[in-house]
Amino acid sequence: MWWPSTVIGAGAGFAVASIPGALLGALLGQAMDRRLRLQDWDDVRERLGGRPTLRDEELLFVLLGRLAKSDGRVAEAHIHQARQEMSQLDLGEPARLRAIAAFNRGKAGKDRLGHYLRRIAEQPHGAEGTLRACWRMAWADGKAGHHERELLLNWGRQLGMSRVQVQALSQEYEPRRSTVSSDAMTYVAALRLLGVEADSDAERIKQAYRRLVSRHHPDKLVGSGASEARVREATERTRELHQAYALVRKRRGF
């Protein structure tokens, strides 16, 4: 890896004092690269553009933020999924605040992410772990739209994964089709599923929805030895909760 400040320092040092100068310049440049977290020339361009270089854990939440916003509106389910990812990573308060800032940065969609993704691809299991988290976000609201799929296929390519591999990961998180279609779910059935009354205020409905999704989310079963059938059941239950909440929000106008 040719770190930018290291290369510049070595070249400048050589011009001034031949080989000894090159060695000293490289050492000073390397110290600057580490301090500023510059690993390639794309990092330099980010800095010159006034955007701080992303840490690996921040990159994940930038990706999640971009996915959440890709269809124009960030849903409550997307925000909940971002919280789930923070919980799974067991982030402390400073790291959690950085993750929230990175998620919001991702929603703006201004970062060029190719060089960051190529860096992640060099880490053991980095590509697969990143894409799994991204598919969880894409399916968080029960559907993965065209823009989300295109983003994930593009990111997968930059992570060194084939189209088939990326789509195979999608199928692991895709909600199974419910026996009750979204059109068939009634307002009364949605209220019953959320465990609220018709006269419940918006805040109580939101709290009930968040509590139920947190309880039933399939990611809580990861690493627990749960059967595939149980994971599938949890996935379907979560999808129905998203569907019920969306119907109630639309009817109540909040």
182 pLDDT tier (thresholds 50, 70, 90):
very low
Q: Would you say 120 and 59 are in contact if contact means Cβ atoms under 8 Å apart?
A: yes
Q: What is the pTM of this model?
A: 0.57
Q: Where are the alpha helices (DSSP H) in 139-227?
A: 146-158, 163-173, 187-194, 202-216
Task: Give the long-range contacts of residues 122-127, CB within 8 A, separation 24 or more.
Answer: 123/56, 126/159, 127/156, 127/159, 127/160, 127/161
pLDDT, tens digit (0-9, with 9 covering 90-100), for 71-124:
888 988 899 889 888 887 888 899 999 999 999 999 998 888 887 888 888 887
What's the alpha-carbon Rg for the chain, to the nearest Å? 23
What residue has token string 């079963």? 221
Distance in angstroms (rounded) separating the CA atoms of residues 164 and 184:
34
| Residue 29 near residue 9 (C-beta atoms within 8 A) | yes
148-168 burial: b if 16+ Cβ within 10 Å, else e: bbebbeebbebbebeeeebbe
Alpha carbons 113 and 83: distance in angstroms, whole number: 22
Q: What is the pLDDT of residues 117-146, one digit of tens each?
A: 888 888 877 888 899 999 999 998 888 889
CATH code assigned to 187-252:
1.10.287.110
3-state secondary structure of 110: coil
Q: Is the pLDDT of residue 18 over 50?
A: yes
Residue 59 has pLDDT above 50, yes or no: yes
Q: Considering Cα of 211, then 216, then 219, then 225, what sign does the dihedral take?
A: positive
